[in-house]
């Protein structure tokens, strides 16, 4: 769309109460959202972007849908970020089938050690 005020192309045009149209160039607002501020608490501030990048792996799911086989399998990003949590979500066979034989052996050893520990108590 083109702004009637300045003629610039814009994906978001705001219509004011008096009927004027303004784009992000002539209206003084960001297309990402909200009126331009100092950037302290907005989603575009440096602090928010750094926190988002720092904690982006908190939303990684353990399972991933494979469109070819139409089944749910092991998510490689989850295995990379949380190798210690894999045993809570997958069996040794699933992990080995996904291409992580060393991790499968480690899970098996951990389960044996846990079993011995429970029996000792």
What's the CA gap between 36 and 58, in Å, rounded? 29
Does residue 50 register a pLDDT over 80? yes
More confident: 100 or 47: 100
The token pair at 7 is: 């003629």
In order of 63, 68, 77, 107, the CA distances from 72 in angstroms are: 6, 11, 14, 20
Computed over every residue of the chain, the mean pLDDT equals 80
Determine the longest span between alpha carbons in the chain, in angstroms.
79
DSSP 16: P
- Per residue in 83-95, pLDDT (tens digit) is 888 888 998 889 9
The answer to whether the CB of 9 falls within 8 A of the CB of 1 is yes
pLDDT at 117: 92
Please state whether the predicted TM-score (pTM) of the whole model is above 0.75. Answer: no
Does residue 19 register a pLDDT over 80? no
- Per residue in 57-76, pLDDT (tens digit) is 778 889 999 888 898 989 99
């Amino acid at each position: 769309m083109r702004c009637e005020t300045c003629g610039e192309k814009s994906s978001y045009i705001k219509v004011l109460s008096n009927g004027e149209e303004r784009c992000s160039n002539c209206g003084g607002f960001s297309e990402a959202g909200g009126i331009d501020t100092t950037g302290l608490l907005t989603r575009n501030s440096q602090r928010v972007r750094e926190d988002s990048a720092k904690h982006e792996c908190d939303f990684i799911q353990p399972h991933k849908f494979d469109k070819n086989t139409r089944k749910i399998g092991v998510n490689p990003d989850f295995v990379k970020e949380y190798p210690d949590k894999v045993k809570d979500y997958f069996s040794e066979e699933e992990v080995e089938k996904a291409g992580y034989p060393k991790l499968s052996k480690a899970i098996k050893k951990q389960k044996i050690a846990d079993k011995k520990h429970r029996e000792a108590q």
